[in-house]
Amino acid sequence: MTAPSSPSRIDTSKPHPARVYDWLLGGKDNYPVDQEVAEKLPPEARHNAMRNRAFMHRAAAWLAENGIDQFLDIGTGIPTRPNLHQIVQRIVPSARVAYADNDPIVLRHAEALLVSSPEGATDYIEADVRDPAAILDHARTFLDFDRPLALSMIALMHFITDEEDPYGLTRTLVDALPSGSYLVLSHGTTDEHPHLATSVKNTYRKGEIPLRMRTRAEIEPFFEGLELVDPGLVTATHWYRTGPAPAEELSGFYVGVARIP
């Protein structure tokens, strides 16, 4: 595990995305400032967080079943069982998973992410997706970049504003991966709930959390030049590889899994 060079403090005076999301998932690792934001979100937010998480479970399992045994997960969040490594190591016990998040509270809980299967390994770095070089430098010490791996960025990039160049950051990360690797991305949207767009944005803005929900057309470019696997770019509840997707369930997220040619 890599600690930050100057240990960052957990700031309980301001809400943080990881802790708001933890509250939405029913976790206990959040503070009154986070609860204040989470409670003002529409009731759909709780269901959406769970549906997003369920997509992560299905996508990670599918990748492991299809031979991927190394994962770089950025924007990991506060551990919520099963975490990504628990899902993939059930299928491939020797799988290696590198986690990264920029919230110091995730570092505090990182021990839960570091209990790997004996055959596999997990690693954690406190790092910011806006500094992809730092993440890649660290990941290269732990994962083998000469073999395919999966980069997952689940419910992360809507915290990156247009000015911070979310597409360029994603491209830098993807370009570092060998052919046959995968990008797994889920991204918040209000396409399905247009009437909630303003209230969700304002709630996060009051908490000083920049939020940039994007439309389907704005999420497509994250996958530019990549080969989306079936069922393509769909809402979280519709990403099913086996069996029919539940009908008409909303999720507030677009998701996709794409192969790097």
Ligand X SMILES: C[S@@+](CC[C@H](N)C(=O)[O-])C[C@H]1O[C@@H](n2cnc3c(N)ncnc32)[C@H](O)[C@@H]1O
Residues that bind ligand X (CB under 6 A): 17-18, 21, 52-53, 56, 74-77, 101-103, 106, 128-130, 154-156, 159
What totals of helices (H) and strands (E) does the chain contain, helices first?
10, 8
> To the nearest whole angstrom, how small is the minimum distance from the Cβ of residue 188 to ligand X?
8
Give, for 216, the enclosing helix (H) or strand (E). helix 216-219
Residue 54: CB atoms within 10 Å: 14
Q: Of all residues in the chain, what percent are helix, strand and coil, respectively (each to 5)? A: 40, 15, 45
> To the nearest whole angstrom, how small is the minimum distance from the Cβ of residue 196 to ligand X?
16
- Contact between residue 253 and residue 235 where contact means Cβ atoms under 8 Å apart: yes
Nearest CB to ligand X, comparing residues 18 and 98: 18
Nearest to 186 by CA among 128, 242, 251: 251
Pairing label, strands 227-228, 234-235: unpaired
b vs e for 190-217, b when ≥16 Cβ sit within 10 Å of the residue's Cβ?
A: bbbbeebeeebeebbeebebebbbbeee
> To the nearest whole angstrom, how small is the minimum distance from the Cβ of residue 156 to ligand X?
5
Nearest CB to ligand X, comparing residues 147 and 205: 205
Q: Which residue is nearest to ligand X (CB)?
A: 77
> To the nearest whole angstrom, how small is the minimum distance from the Cβ of residue 155 to ligand X?
4
Nearest CB to ligand X, comparing residues 124 and 178: 124
- Contact between residue 70 and residue 51 where contact means Cβ atoms under 8 Å apart: no
Nearest CB to ligand X, comparing residues 41 and 106: 106
Give, for 89, the enclosing helix (H) or strand (E). helix 84-91
The encoded tokens of residue 203 equal: 């709630």
> To the nearest whole angstrom, how small is the minimum distance from the Cβ of residue 238 to ligand X?
17
> To the nearest whole angstrom, how small is the minimum distance from the Cβ of residue 41 to ligand X?
12
Nearest CB to ligand X, comparing residues 39 and 144: 39
Nearest CB to ligand X, comparing residues 18 and 87: 18
